[in-house]
């Protein structure tokens, strides 16, 4: 080995590099959201409800692949913070909506995530970034299909 650099036999394996990248990005997302007093799961729910107002808790859980046992406290935290409102819907269904404060916090979340996006991917060419996203989505979809088999 020259220059003190080690050769990693797994360096060219996606199954090795993706978890490493995910761990780094998870920490970066948490650091961006921490000043807003939000966890990544909470920010995800705000983004989802901003784009899909009025969905029920069950629909949100299905769409975001969040177990009911995890959805209940997640929604409860955001409701207690005044960011999400539970509104009676059809029958016994409860629709979830962002409050005005939730909408303001969503705007801050989007700004924080855009800053992170620029830091992480701003150096990539648009087509390289698009190809990377397409590949990652393909991997996730294939593995999600296997999990349902």
What are the domain boundaries of the chain?
34-119
Residue-by-residue pLDDT tens, the chain, 149 positions:
455 555 577 788 888 888 999 999 999 999 999 999 999 999 999 999 999 999 999 999 999 989 999 999 999 999 999 999 999 877 888 899 999 999 999 999 999 999 999 999 999 999 999 999 999 999 988 887 765 54
Contacts of 35 (CB under 8 A, 6+ apart): 112
Helices and strands in the chain, H and E counts: 6, 3
CA atoms of 75 and 54, how far apart (whole Å): 13
Residue 13's pLDDT is 85
Residue 6's pLDDT is 54
Residue 96's pLDDT is 97
Tokens (6 digits) for 84: 């999400």
Report the CATH number of the 34-119 domain: 1.10.10.10
Residue 149's pLDDT is 44
Look at the pTM and tell me if it is higher than 0.85.
Answer: no
Residue 80's pLDDT is 97
Residue 98's pLDDT is 98
Residue 5's pLDDT is 58
CA atoms of 58 and 67, how far apart (whole Å): 9
The DSSP symbol for 89 reads -
CA atoms of 32 and 28, how far apart (whole Å): 6
């Amino acid at each position: 080995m020259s220059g003190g650099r080690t050769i990693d036999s797994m360096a060219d394996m996606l199954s090795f590099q993706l978890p490493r990248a995910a761990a780094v990005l998870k920490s970066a997302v948490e650091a961006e959201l921490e000043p807003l007093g939000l966890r990544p799961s909470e920010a995800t729910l705000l983004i989802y409800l901003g784009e899909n107002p009025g969905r029920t808790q069950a629909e949100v859980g299905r769409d975001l692949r969040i177990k009911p046992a995890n959805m209940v406290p997640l929604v409860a935290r955001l409701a207690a913070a005044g960011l999400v409102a539970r509104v009676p819907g059809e029958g016994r269904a409860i629709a979830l909506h962002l409050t005005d404060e939730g909408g303001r916090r969503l705007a801050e979340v989007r700004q924080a995530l855009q800053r992170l996006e620029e830091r992480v991917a701003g150096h990539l060419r648009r087509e390289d970034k698009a190809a990377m996203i397409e590949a990652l989505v393909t991997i996730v979809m294939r593995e999600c299909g296997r999990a349902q088999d």
